[in-house]
Amino acid sequence: MQTLESFLESTNANLFLKEFSFAQNNFSPQPDKSLELADHIVWIKDHIIIYQLKERIPDGPMSEETEIRWFQNKVLKKAKTQIRDTLNYLNSYTSIAIKNQRNHSFTISKDQVTQIAKIILYAVPYDPPREFRDTKHLESSTSGFIHIINIIDYIGICQNLITPAEIWEYFVFRETAIRKWPERTARIREQALVGQFLSGELDFWPEAHYESYLTSHANDIESFNVMPFLNGLHERLTPAQGATQGEFDYYKFLREFAQLNRADLRALKERLLWCIETCKSGDATKPSRIAVPRTNCGFVFIPVPAEHRNNPLPGLISITHAAKYEDRMTREVGTAISYNKPYLDMSHCFLEFPWAPDPDLEQALRESPILRTARVEVAPRYRFD
């Protein structure tokens, strides 16, 4: 029988990737002292989600009184205290070593985290009573706002929102709505809040009718699924000029994808597929790109002409530099694709440094424009039937 802890490990590993999911969170600040940071952590760039888990495993007769007592003691009190302890550890220790689900060790500290979501997930072997369902949060004088979510509702959140960026945005919206309308949000189901988030009507009074958006929105996952593209990424990443390849350099690349919502990913996948088909056709054409000002990162896809397919790297790096400059981004991801029938070869480049005027590069791009003219496009995030 799968435990709540192992279930969350597998769910978050698929959703947030194993690179950003941390289930081994014991650390030793002193040789003879062992502490646990949290039951589970998701850490992407400067965002962290802290999960504290409570699972009801009956060891005797159950009654309404015993179940309410369990909920009050384990969920409302003990889990709240454990989240407080986690925040205290982050404040007290300059670096805490934890392992992600790739078994890679990283150190985390308060300075690396600017935004924290705190979640208590609970599982009970019955339909939660009204008192459980109506309790959607805790307000702590030391820990601030803490989400309380039944695991079944959490599964629904993940199935409907899918991308890490949207799930994070949902928790931000959920906190805002509960703070603004505590009594109203207590009386409606989690599905109504998820539906309201999908609708985009984030400033409206929460209503039960928003549940209809869960059945009317087209969850066209394949249109924005880029997971196959990310497989084996660490083997294809090319160091920028003058840089050396680090074992975990590909994490920087993955973090950019983890911050994209489905509209961003849909536009990105369209350009990826275009690049592949262009390579197969043998047509010589300029690269295609997308810039996401919200994350300050651009992506450029380069179909490599047949005459350069044996040495695409110089063009990959120079075009990625050019795209980064024209997009005025801090970061740029470049992907070069060449076709050696029947195989497709991919190489990637990741650049990160502050944008600054470069008159020489501007002149070179005017004299030899290697990029298409950019246009502003605002695409709807969700599609409804």
Eight-state DSSP code of residue 372 = P
- The pair of structure tokens assigned to 135 is 């309790």
- pTM for the full predicted model: 0.92
| Residue stretches of the chain with pLDDT short of 70 | 1, 234-247
> According to the model, what pLDDT value does residue 217 have?
82
Distance of CA 286 to the CA centre of its chain: 31
Rounded to an integer, what distance in angstroms lies between the CA atom of residue 16 and that of residue 208? Answer: 29
Q: What are the φ/ψ torsions at residue 206 (nearest 5 degrees)?
A: -60, 135
- The pair of structure tokens assigned to 302 is 């380069």
pLDDT single digits (tens) 149-181 = 999 999 999 999 999 999 999 999 999 999 999
> According to the model, what pLDDT value does residue 246 have?
56
Distance of CA 150 to the CA centre of its chain: 21
> According to the model, what pLDDT value does residue 202 have?
94
> According to the model, what pLDDT value does residue 135 have?
96
Percent of the chain with pLDDT over 70: 96
Rounded to an integer, what distance in angstroms lies between the CA atom of residue 196 and that of residue 212? Answer: 9
pLDDT single digits (tens) 259-300 = 999 999 999 999 999 999 998 887 778 999 999 999 999 999
Q: Is there a contact between 258 and 165 (Cβ–Cβ < 8 Å)?
A: yes
> According to the model, what pLDDT value does residue 309 have?
74
Q: Is there a contact between 352 and 252 (Cβ–Cβ < 8 Å)?
A: yes
Return left, alpha or beta for 372; rule: phi > 0 is left, psi -120 to 50 is alpha, else beta. Answer: beta
Counting every residue, how long is the chain?
A: 385
Q: Which residues of 63-89 are buried (b: 16+ CB within 10 A; e: fewer)?
A: eeeebeebbeeebbeebbebbbbbbeb
- The pair of structure tokens assigned to 119 is 């979640």
